């Protein structure tokens, strides 16, 4: 397949590198990473060890492919959608954390937009190289649930390239469960400056559990069956599996970068407001991160 990976940062470079073992991949990213990939190829290290030679460009406009895989940060989705809309694709998929990216893409693109989640860990350490810090899986499917030929085709493309992949018919529930995990872990660890494993017990675990429970309550108000206990168990499962991780939001805070707070806890707050629900823990976490974003040097 011809595949465009829009957002050749950490996750996009890893997924693009894995896909390039089997498919014709074009990475859309920034220099000096793009220049290094064009010059010497993309080295995939950490839990893998191989080099591939995908195409790479800094100009994401006017491209055409069977599939567009979107891996920019959530706050860059609108710009990515605008660029992708100038090209031609049979399908697109978001592998981003947070909620709302699929809707943003679907509003601009003239092709089926699939939902996806990724539990691979990736860090781009230097231009032309990415490390896999944890082998996970990609789960994908139609964003409204059910099955589709586009989802099956994308699933086959990922699987044949050796990406652990599940094609799921319950993406709305899976997205809300992943949202509960990120709502519980990301902002809590970013503010407390602790690793994910610190949420398994101790003072911050209550905050993470409450944020996940609130998220489950909003999910149910949206018609998605996600129990309070299931949401808390998902947080515990992920915190245990990634105990030594510094969450992506904490990494962003430590590096002085913008965070994805609006599409994670901020999304829970926005949906709760529409449904007349109270989510005080998510509201507190969102406002504390917002306060810090106001003080962050602007891009």
Ligand X SMILES: CC(C)(CO)C(=O)C(=O)O
Ligand Y SMILES: NC(=O)C1=CN([C@@H]2O[C@H](COP(=O)(O)OP(=O)(O)OC[C@H]3O[C@@H](n4cnc5c(N)ncnc54)[C@H](OP(=O)(O)O)[C@@H]3O)[C@@H](O)[C@H]2O)C=CC1
Q: How far is the CB of 5 from ligand Y (least distance, A)?
A: 10
Catalytic choice (33, 73, 178, 267):
178
Q: Give CA–CA dist 290/256, Å, rounded.
A: 13
User: Does position 196 bind ligand X by CB under 6 A?
Assistant: yes
The site for ligand Y (CB under 6 A) is made up of 7, 9-12, 28-30, 60, 71-74, 76, 79-80, 83, 95-97, 118, 121-122, 124, 248, 260
Looking at residue 85, the DSSP 8-state letter turns out to be T
User: Does position 185 bind ligand X by CB under 6 A?
Assistant: yes
For ligand X, how many residues bind (rule: CB under 6 A)? 11
User: Does position 101 bind ligand X by CB under 6 A?
Assistant: no
Greatest C-alpha distance within the chain: 54
94 touches which of ligand Y, ligand X, none (CB within 5 to 8 A by kind)? none
CB 130 within 8 A of CB 13: yes
Q: Annotate each residue in 231-260 with x if it binds ligand X (CB under 6 A) or - if it does not, as one string.
A: -------x---x--x-xx------------
Cβ atoms within 10 Å of 146's Cβ, excluding its own: 11
Summary count for the chain: helices (H), strands (E): 11, 12
Catalytic annotation on 277? no
Using alpha carbons, list the distances in angstroms from residue 243 to 138, 174, 232, 246, 267.
Answer: 20, 22, 16, 9, 25
Stretch that binds ligand X, among 9-17, 153-161, 180-188, 283-291 (CB under 6 A): 180-188
Structural element, H or E, at residue 212: helix 203-221
Q: Which is nearer to ligand X, 74 or 80 (CB)?
A: 74
User: Does position 99 bind ligand X by CB under 6 A?
Assistant: no
Q: Which is nearer to ligand X, 26 or 196 (CB)?
A: 196
Using alpha carbons, list the distances in angstroms from residue 50 to 8, 13, 142.
Answer: 17, 13, 32
Q: How far is the CB of 193 from ligand X (least distance, A)?
A: 14
Q: Give CA–CA dist 31/33, Å, rounded.
A: 5
Positions annotated as catalytic residues are: 178
Interface with ligand X (CB under 6 A): 97, 181-182, 185-186, 196, 238, 242, 245, 247-248
């Amino acid at each position: 397949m011809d595949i465009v990976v829009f957002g050749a940062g950490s996750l996009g470079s890893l997924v693009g590198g894995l896909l390039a073992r089997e498919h014709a991949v074009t990475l859309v990213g920034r220099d000096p990473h793009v220049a290094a990939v064009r010059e010497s190829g993309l080295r995939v290290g950490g839990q893998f060890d191989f080099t591939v030679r995908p195409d790479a460009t800094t100009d994401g406009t006017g491209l055409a492919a069977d599939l567009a895989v979107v891996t920019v940060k959530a706050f860059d989705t609108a710009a990515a959608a605008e660029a992708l809309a100038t090209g031609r694709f049979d399908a697109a998929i978001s592998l981003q954390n947070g909620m709302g990216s699929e809707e943003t893409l679907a509003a601009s693109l003239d092709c089926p937009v699939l939902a996806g989640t990724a539990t691979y860990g990736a860090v781009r350490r230097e231009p032309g190289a990415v490390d896999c810090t944890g082998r996970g899986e990609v789960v994908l499917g139609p964003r409204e649930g059910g099955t589709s030929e586009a989802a099956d085709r994308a699933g086959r493309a990922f699987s044949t390239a050796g990406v652990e992949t599940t094609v799921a018919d319950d993406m709305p529930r899976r997205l809300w469960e992943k949202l509960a995990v990120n709502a519980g872990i990301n902002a809590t660890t970013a503010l407390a400056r602790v690793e994910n494993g610190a949420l398994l017990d101790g003072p911050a675990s209550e905050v993470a559990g409450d944020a996940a429970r609130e998220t489950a309550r909003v999910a149910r108000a949206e018609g998605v069956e996600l129990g309070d206990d299931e949401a808390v168990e998902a947080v515990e499962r992920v915190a245990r599996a990634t105990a030594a991780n510094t969450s992506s939001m904490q990494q962003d805070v430590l590096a002085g970068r913008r965070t994805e707070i609006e599409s994670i806890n901020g999304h829970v707050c926005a949906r709760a407001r529409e449904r007349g629900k109270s989510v005080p823990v998510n509201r507190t976490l969102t406002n504390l991160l917002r306060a810090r974003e106001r003080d962050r040097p602007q891009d």
